[in-house]
Amino acid sequence: MAVTNPHLSTATILGYPRIGRRRELKRAVESFWAGRTTADELEATARDLRQTTARRLVDLGLDAGNAAVPGSFSYYDQVLDAVALLGAVPDRFAGLTTDGGRLPLEAYFTVARGEGDNAPLEMTKWFDTNYHYLVPEIGPDTPIGFVDDRAVREFTELAHPADGGQAVVTRPAFVGPVTFLLLSKAADGAVPAAAALRGSQAHSSAAGDGFRPLDRLDDVVAAYADLLRALAAAGAPWVQLDEPALVTDLLDVPFDEVADAVRRAYAALATELSPAAAGDAPAQRPAILVTAPYGDLRSEAGDGLALLAGTDVEAIAIDLVRGAVPTGPVPGLETKTLVAGAIDGHNIWRADLDARLTTLEGLAATGTGLGAGTVAVGTSTSLLHVPHDVADEPRLDADLKSWLAFADQKVAEVVTLATALTDGRGAVADRLAESTAAVRSRAAAPGVVVPVVRERTAALTAADVERAPYAERAAAQQARLNLPPLPTTTIGSFPQTAEIRSTRAAWVRGELSDADYTAAMRAEIASTVALQEELGLDVLVHGEPERNDMVQYFAEQLDGFATTVNGWVQSYGSRCVRPPILWGDVSRPAPLTVEWTAYAASLTDKPVKGMLTGPVTILAWSFVRDDLPLGDTADQVALALRDEVTDLEAAGIGVVQVDEPALRELLPLRRSAHPGYLDWSVRSFRLSTAGAETATQVHTHLCYSEFGQVIGAIDGLDADVTSVEAARSRMEIVPELADAGYGRGIGPGVYDIHSPRVPSVQEVTDLVELAAKSIDPRLVWVNPDCGLKTRAYAETKESLAHLVTAAKAVRATL
Ligand code: GLN
Ligand code: ZN
């Protein structure tokens, strides 16, 4: 059979950062929110940004005429864009849509951010990344249609630019219909399909009865069919539909059902619509590229690659970084283009191009390879997860810079690989040589491998992660701390006021001396300690005013890390983070937190809890090295923290909390990988804490309540006290933990810090009683759900006062 695919460029990327090199979009969006600019002005800025981006990608080597440049812009979030495209707006926002069901720009942001009593869409993590998407709410009656042609207009605007400059024929990209519904939660109290990805098992048993978002597949597919027709009419040769739901088995929908949905969806889109013009009839749709980023299409659960190859789509993009290199032949693939995601879209290391090329040549080989019609080169995921440009980092060490590839460098890598694949290695010999030289220089550079660090991790034994039995610890700790039943505490941070932030900023800019900065932070700590004494809390904290971020603060002080100036990555909406780069062996040149904690302790007779960020969370929120197993890197970080615990103890600190809010976030997308992950993550946490003396009380904090898959791991952490989010789920976690045989301290959060609402004494009392009934009351601690840094002082004081009153009231009844 002759391959009739319209030619897809041999070099492409699955998506590009949308926020702008200098966070132009963030600023434009926020000034629109603040009412300083109009929707028209915001749209003009966005249009410029899209045009600059598309033209830059062409300058970097992507083909201007052949759908190589993805149309992956979003004002806020690509999942919200799909909601807007479909007009699938929850009832509470129905009044905001136009007659045609479209969300005007201002209303689009309202759905994302909420308004008054109308809560925004819930936000949750996008696969195993730190990007957060908005969770669509789909019910049996949610309107669904093709109501918004913004993407079509964006295509046309770049293909036929008004300024007469360089035209770019893009490939508009959308969340695919199956993934859209699998990530949606059921509206009207029906079953949320994506509960499991958010960590819950509680809802899964209910699957099968009641409405599920996937029940609306035909409606969504019909709307996508209209979208494809509109794109074809506008002349778009290709469209991209992202179906990462195919690489995970955490969605609690069996593979067979997902497969059935994929077959139905792509029969309707690819088979029933004609891709080619016939006679006078125009094409009914563009050629379709389905992408499957973030993991392996193949697993024990089923073969997603064979599934996609069996549809009539023209191209399939696979992730060769997270996924294994597939072997073939795969029936159906012979008529398709395989976009081989050889360049990591999710991390910042320069690729070993020679090695990648060998893999690509294997895939493309006729007879022995996969049997794909054509092999094109792509990124493993959208480049959304990496910063724009290494050249934009004036302060990074030159050697380190030469080992890095941010988005722009990755585009060049893709182009180099594609050129080598088509024209032979000789065509790009010098670029291949440069890549090899960079890989060699990195491997041999001082600091990458530090013998003393390696010797220390190599010498670790099982005894290094063991403490005395819990009963012995509990007795020693009680003798030392003499705490009342239902002890009260907080999670660590106190409000980060504008004043604190501007003081820190002035110090970073060099406008405030070290001495003045220290004095300002000490004053803040002193007032936080005084407040806690006044409130009558039992275990105090210093309040973390000196921390810009719970990971960056540690990364800035540890050897083996670097931080960037412009390395912003979108976290959600207009929020961006600058993940540190963990490039070398990690060690602690000097104590990290002791000075501040010891100062707080000097001001009070009450115990002060030292606050550290755990190894798993430090890794999860950094760009990690790719030349050492994650577990080994985690051990290095853990040892640095272990030394910090020892120093805190030497300074007289008797309670230490090691936060692991990201423990569940890093959970692999495939169940088969869970035991291996939980093994190293739990071990590294224990390594960081097990050096503590028997009489030192170790706390941990996990930022969520839906434990699902990690409940065993929580017990495995062996912390003396674990605080978790619980108020919103009415302490559900406490009986779950009790059932699982958990028998150490538990601090189920008694009020939700994500909102400024002050809980009443009665409300908190009820929750404390509930907790004390579900588990041995001697194990129960009373604390908020999470840190208070995003709150204001007014509500914080009142809420904590109610918390202490409630704890005392229940204490009196024990
Ligand atoms: N100790 C940190 C704080 O209170 C914990 C934050 C978190 O769990 N994300 O801010
Ligand atoms: Zn938290």
3-state secondary structure 7-49: CCCCECCCCCCCCCCCCHHHHHHHHHHCCCCCHHHHHHHHHHH
- pLDDT, tens digit, 9 for 90 and up, residues 238-279: 999 999 999 998 888 999 999 999 999 999 999 999 998 777
The ligand 1 atom at the shortest distance from the C-alpha of residue 657 is: 1
The ligand 1 atom at the shortest distance from the C-alpha of residue 490 is: 4
Which tokens sit at 546? 């000196």
Which tokens sit at 578? 């600058």
Q: How many angstroms separate the alpha carbon of residue 662 from the centre of ligand 2?
A: 9
Which tokens sit at 144? 């669904």
Which tokens sit at 506? 């002035």
The ligand 1 atom at the shortest distance from the C-alpha of residue 611 is: 1
Q: Show Cβ contacts of residue 650 under 8 Å, excluding neighbours closer than 6 positions.
A: none
The ligand 1 atom at the shortest distance from the C-alpha of residue 702 is: 8
What helix, strand, coil percent values describe the chain, rounded to 5?
45, 15, 40
Q: How many angstroms separate the alpha carbon of residue 787 from the centre of ligand 1?
A: 4
Report the predicted TM-score, pTM, of the whole model to 2 decimal places. Answer: 0.94
Q: How far apart are CA 379 and CA 415, in angstroms?
A: 11
Distance, C-alpha 194 to centroid of its chain: 16
Which tokens sit at 111? 């759905």
Active site residue 754: yes
Evaluate: CB of 701 within 6 angstroms of ligand 1.
yes
Residue with tokens 């970084």: 321
- Paired with 570 in beta bridges are 576
Q: Could you count the other beta carbons within 10 Å of the beta carbon of residue 628?
A: 18
- Give the number of whichever ligand sits closest to the CA of residue 753: 2
Return the residue whose CA atom lies nearest to atom 1 of ligand 1: 492
Q: How many angstroms separate the alpha carbon of residue 66 from the centre of ligand 2?
A: 46
**Active site residue: 7, 132, 701, 754, which one?**
754
Evaluate: CB of 662 within 6 angstroms of ligand 1.
no
Q: Which residues surround ligand 2, an ion (CB under 5 A)?
A: 661, 703, 786
Evaluate: CB of 496 within 6 angstroms of ligand 1.
no
- pLDDT, tens digit, 9 for 90 and up, residues 595-630: 999 999 999 999 999 999 999 999 999 999 999 999
The ligand 1 atom at the shortest distance from the C-alpha of residue 789 is: 10
Q: How many angstroms separate the alpha carbon of residue 492 from the centre of ligand 1?
A: 6
Q: Indicate the SS3 state at residue 382.
A: coil
CA-wise closest residue to 752 among 730, 775, 721: 730
Evaluate: CB of 702 within 6 angstroms of ligand 1.
no
Question: What pLDDT does residue 4 have?
Answer: 46
Q: How many angstroms separate the alpha carbon of residue 703 from the centre of ligand 2?
A: 4
Q: How far apart are CA 799 and CA 810, in angstroms?
A: 17
- Give the number of whichever ligand sits closest to the CA of residue 547: 1
Q: Could you count the other beta carbons within 10 Å of the beta carbon of residue 5?
A: 17
Using a 10 angstrom Cβ sphere, with 0-12 exposed, 13-18 middle and 19 or more buried, the burial of residue 429 is: exposed
Return the residue whose CA atom lies nearest to atom 5 of ligand 1: 787
- Yes or no: say if 379 and 341 are a contact pair by the CB < 8 Å rule: yes
Q: How many angstroms separate the alpha carbon of residue 786 from the centre of ligand 1?
A: 6
Evaluate: CB of 658 within 6 angstroms of ligand 1.
no
- Yes or no: say if 617 and 658 are a contact pair by the CB < 8 Å rule: no
Which residues of the chain are modeled with pLDDT < 70?
1-6, 188-209, 367-368, 705
Q: Could you count the other beta carbons within 10 Å of the beta carbon of residue 204?
A: 17
Phi, psi of 698 (to 5 degrees): -100, 125
Return the residue whose CA atom lies nearest to atom 3 of ligand 1: 787
Pick left, alpha or beta for residue 742 (phi over 0 → left; psi -120 to 50 → alpha; otherwise beta).
Answer: beta
Question: What pLDDT does residue 705 have?
Answer: 67
- Dihedral of the CA atoms 42, 48, 50, 55 (nearest 10)? -170
